[in-house]
Structure 1
Amino acid sequence: MGSLRAARRHRHRWSGPAILLFAGVLSATGCSADGPDPTGPGWPSTHGDPRNSSTSPVSGTRSPQEIWSRPLGAPTAGGIPIAPNGQLFVGADTVGGCNYFAFELATGRKRFCNRVGAGVVGAGGTVDTANNVYVGDDGAMNSFNEHGQARWRTPVMGTPLASTFTADGNLLFVTHLGQINVLDPQTGQLVLPAEDVLGTADFLNTPDLPWPANDQGLADCGSGGPACPVATAPALDVTTGRFYVAVRPPDSADAAVTAIGYADGKLVRDWTVPVLTGGTATAPALSADGRTLYLTDRAEHLLAIETGSGAVKWQQDLGYQPNGGLVVQDGLIIPPGGTDGHLVAFRDRGDHAELAWTRDDLTPLGSAAAAAGDIGYVVVAGASGDGDLRLITFDTAAGTTIDEDPMPGARGPAVGVSLGPAGEVLATTVIGEVFAYRSGS
């Protein structure tokens, strides 16, 4: 473990290229039986639910109409969570002043802005049904109420890029340096001792082992590089308490998937499989029954893993490298956009992936989102490849276009799409523009 800590020495500031790489790779959400409840209306975090499925149970609108847009004044890389009251939260890479903002979804009016650590630009945040937000920065997890007042701040090792709520109402997250934390969401206190997904260092035998810089390797997270052990957030099966982490060990060319059980106040490692060639490209996403885990690697593969054993069920060549979060809905998997990619969907047939449909005419930018009723939303490149972006509403079952809306002045790439408690659609670009839509019918 000494080599791991020693490798984490140089500090990084968020830069334009790092944000472009990092955009869309985060995922997390909230869940609880007795505490904050993510099953209420809204988009609790970057990819919508504990499974990272990028889906919402809310019925989607077939004819979105823009209600407002606004610039953040700086680039952003984290997905936008939306609270049940319609308040949304987003971080930006501002040089001075505020870098974490809250806006009203209905009007775009700013509710508050705070200054926290620079790492917040890539941390999507998670909200509960009391409209409290939980968001990481370099070296801490923070919680604010809907008015922007600090509830607590808990120091950690690394930057929490996303978080989720366990079935017993605690806040679970893994920092980009691999530290696993479970906190009481009311107080921010540790529920159990923090652990390292790569193994805890023995400071008694190596007292001179340096403590890593909390922003070390953030610039590597977007590309799943070696300086960022955990580039994406875990997917959680609330029923079993097991969560799945994509982790790249130090000095390794590839990444692995680790299954860890959380129950009875303990963390138990179940299995680890080194199956992600070149590192991880998308956050792991679970099927609705929790039996299959989907994710992609840096060698342009979409993989399906059996969650009981870690065995690979199938591997599908995509022909491009995606960046963002997967849509997993009723056996359908829609990868995010990426270099030279196009909008495409696959169906899980047990021992192989079957091409459901493909749209060679659409170049998706960032992560898509799906609502109830087989309605999907994705930001795509302009018709000429370098014009204004467009929000496409499409039929997730057939891939056909339902509606098309311009995003005036917007330029790619995009971070992704979030869905509001009444079916509102929120699209964000990496350069720091937010576009809000609601039903036009």
Structure 2
Amino acid sequence: MTKSKFRSKKVFVLIIVAAISVALMWAFFDDTRPHNPKVFGPPAKTEWKPIGARSAGQHSYDIIPEPTTWHAIHVDVSNADSVWGVAAPMFELDWVAEPAYFVGSGPLLDNQGNLYFSANFYHGERVDLVAIDAKTGARRWTLPEIGKMSAGGPIILNDPDNPGAQIIYLAGPEQITAVRQDGSILWKKATGIKIANAEDPDTTKFQNFNYHPATDSLVTATKSGALHAFSRKTGEIVAPAGQLPGAPAISGNRTSIPGFIVNRVDPLMDKAFGKTADGLSLFSSAVNYIYGGGGVITNYFSIDPDSSRIYIAATAPDAEDGTEDGRSEIGAIYSLTLQDNGNGGLEFEVLNRNTFQGGTGSTPALSADGSRVYVSDNEGHVIALDHELNEVWRVDVGEPLVGSITVAPDNNEIYAVTAKDVFQLIDRGDHGTLTWTAELNGFDGYANVDVQSNGLTATVTANGVVVMIGGGKEIIGRTVMLHVGMGLLDRQTGRLRYFTEGREDSLAMSVVAADGSIYVGHSPLRRAVGKAFYPDLTQDVIGGVARFKPVRLDLLARDALCAAGARAVNANTLNQVAEAAAVSTDIRQIAFLITQAESAIEQAVSDSDMPQADANPLRDLLAQSSASLATGDLIESATALTSACAMFD
């Protein structure tokens, strides 16, 4: 797989074309259109409902948290980018915390309302982990940098020895650490990993790490394709290093960012974030990383929580591109197992492999039952594989994909993103169909916005799809990003239910919290290009994390209880024996949605968004539904929730 293709999911598909000609950009500066932004009012109820049995796993949630918010880079170990709760139907930018940090992954949230991010690049204080209060943005504590810092951000797991508590794990080339929620160190261990290539020490850089249930271990992967496993309980290494058979990647088209762009953007990024630990400018470092080649793995990997099978997108072995030169120009997806080696230890074993002409630019995303693996390639295809990595179908969306596939547990829905659009597809078993292309019109009426486009991987919630929309100038069909905002799409139609302007561009995820808030990690590479060439049309670039707080909490309560009611009605139609896993998971999700609704009602009364006279009967109905749910009476639970939803008609 080519290096540039591997990372196109991040940003540079936009940047390359956007900066073809400075003269073209300056031609827009005389635009005198009025600034009359579109106003988004309170969104109506969504008509979307789950139909039939959901995809559901058999695993417990003793260690792996329920997918109620972001506990890992793509929500959970299977990287589905899907959460059980609802996002706030209406929201607004609340604050930006820790703006000195360039946040390229995360943030993550624990079950106590704390937010965590790994500070990949920064201006000044150098730390491995920052913990802030998710409601206020106030710093709680930091984990000092020790040796080479982590690359892929933390992962949060439940502590089975202390029910209700969680542990934050962070891995770097030199050390792996477990931290309690109060910032105290549970354990820290030296990894003992030696640099495989002294000329390129970055080959030891962890791209991500994940939890392996069968062995109760934390699995790490390096840029060079080396795999390691560490005990979750102690941090001790539990398996000799494994190695993917892929060869280092090279850039098949030998493309690079033009120097005049780098020369404009580097000083801007240096001012905002300083230089990297290697003394490079952040933008130059990103360009070198993307176009320099040399990596086997440059994205994240997934683990099926039921089978514990590991799925990694990487490069193919050297000779498979037709030339034995120690490099690879095509990609591959691998499935592996971590198992007993017969001598009381563990070892990695490659089970299956599938190669891709043009490579895959996405983290493998798994269905909840582990039966499907979804990837995107760089030629415009969404590809569905079975769990043995046999291709089942592919759909061409007409343009290169730039991010991981989002997998909903309901209605066989999956979501794919390009530099322009967000698509919904349906997995129909032996083929996939494209059902809608999203309406991305949040910046309608903005002066100096000629084009609007997708900004991040989509996030599926119980009441819609959370997206980032970028707005700016159009250069040869691409967007030079000047503005950015967050929106909520309707899952039934792809129409924009709500939108509000944000502060900064992101390479991370659209993170939805348990209270419906939306968080965005600021990593402004695309908007830095816009700022460099349109300095008077957009704000200065900043880092940190932004919170979009819920407003009109009565509507959040409405969407949560209506979603719970629709799910309870559907669950009641299922065969309680044959579809036991689906029904059990439905009950868990309904219980969480009821909790969301109860909290939203309390806050709505406090904010004067809901009169006490309306809140009391809603609370009674939710209490009835919870009591019925606890006894497994889905009929009574559904009846109470349906009545509560009808109160908003």
> What is the TM-score normalised by the length of structure 2?
0.56
Residues 332-343 of structure 1 mapped to structure 2, 5 A cutoff: 332-338=413-419, 341-343=420-422
Greater share of helix residues, 1 or 2? 2
The answer to whether the Cα contact below 8 Å between 2:9 and 2:361 also exists between their aligned partners in 1 is no
The match for 1:436 is: 547
**Which is greater in Rg?**
2
The answer to whether the Cα contact below 8 Å between 1:281 and 1:321 also exists between their aligned partners in 2 is no
Does residue 505 of structure 2 align to residue 412 of structure 1? yes
The match for 2:132 is: 103
The match for 1:344 is: 423
1:146 is aligned, of 175, 181, 184, to 181
Does residue 445 of structure 2 align to residue 354 of structure 1? no
Following TM superposition, by how much is the alpha carbon of 1:32 offset from its aligned partner in structure 2, in angstroms?
Answer: 8.1
Q: What SS does the aligned partner of 2:110 have?
A: coil
Residues 291-370 of structure 1 mapped to structure 2, 5 A cutoff: 291-308=371-388, 310-329=389-408, 330=410, 331-338=412-419, 341-359=420-438, 361=440, 363-370=453-460
The match for 1:247 is: 314
Q: What SS does the aligned partner of 1:56 have?
A: coil
Q: Could you say if the C-alpha distance between residues 375 and 320 of structure 1 is closer, same or farther in structure 2, counting changes exceeding 3 Å?
A: same
Amino acid at match of 1:257: I
The match for 2:647 is: none
Percent of aligned pairs with the same amino acid: 19
| CA deviation map 1:145-178 (0-9, x unaligned) | 3343443133236122222222243212322221
Residues 379-418 of structure 1 mapped to structure 2, 5 A cutoff: 379-382=468-471, 386-407=481-502, 410-418=503-511
Residues 86-235 of structure 1 mapped to structure 2, 5 A cutoff: 86-92=113-119, 93-99=121-127, 100-116=129-145, 120=149, 122-129=151-158, 130-150=165-185, 151-155=187-191, 156=193, 158-168=204-214, 169-198=216-245, 223=290, 226-235=293-302
Using the alignment, how far apart are the partners of 1:222 and 1:358 within structure 2? 32
| CA deviation map 1:104-131 (0-9, x unaligned) | 1111111122342697574122012333
Amino acid at match of 1:75: F
Q: Could you say if the C-alpha distance between residues 115 and 95 of structure 1 is closer, same or farther in structure 2, counting changes exceeding 3 Å?
A: farther
The match for 2:369 is: 289
Using the alignment, how far apart are the partners of 2:74 and 2:371 within structure 1? 19
The answer to whether the Cα contact below 8 Å between 1:366 and 1:415 also exists between their aligned partners in 2 is yes
Amino acid at match of 2:154: G
Q: What SS does the aligned partner of 2:71 have?
A: coil
Amino acid at match of 2:458: A
The answer to whether the Cα contact below 8 Å between 1:379 and 1:427 also exists between their aligned partners in 2 is no
The answer to whether the Cα contact below 8 Å between 1:181 and 1:193 also exists between their aligned partners in 2 is yes
Aligned residue pairs total 395
Greater share of strand residues, 1 or 2? 1
Amino acid at match of 1:111: R
Following TM superposition, by how much is the alpha carbon of 1:54 offset from its aligned partner in structure 2, in angstroms?
Answer: 0.2
The match for 1:280 is: 360
Using the alignment, how far apart are the partners of 2:383 and 2:146 within structure 1? 35
Q: Could you say if the C-alpha distance between residues 135 and 294 of structure 1 is closer, same or farther in structure 2, counting changes exceeding 3 Å?
A: same
Using the alignment, how far apart are the partners of 2:287 and 2:405 within structure 1? 20
Deviates more, 1:112-121 or 1:342-351: 112-121
Amino acid at match of 1:260: L
Q: Could you say if the C-alpha distance between residues 320 and 74 of structure 1 is closer, same or farther in structure 2, counting changes exceeding 3 Å?
A: farther
| CA deviation map 1:362-394 (0-9, x unaligned) | 5111222112x2421111113666443110011
The answer to whether the Cα contact below 8 Å between 2:152 and 2:209 also exists between their aligned partners in 1 is no
The match for 2:87 is: 60
Following TM superposition, by how much is the alpha carbon of 1:220 offset from its aligned partner in structure 2, in angstroms?
Answer: 8.1
> What is the TM-score normalised by the length of structure 1?
0.80
Q: Where do 5+ consecutive residues of structure 2 fail to align?
A: 1-7, 14-57, 159-164, 195-203, 248-277, 279-284, 317-325, 341-345, 441-451, 474-478, 525-542, 554-649
| CA deviation map 1:194-232 (0-9, x unaligned) | 2112389xxxxxxxxxxxxxx9xx958975974121112
Using the alignment, how far apart are the partners of 1:134 and 1:352 within structure 2? 39
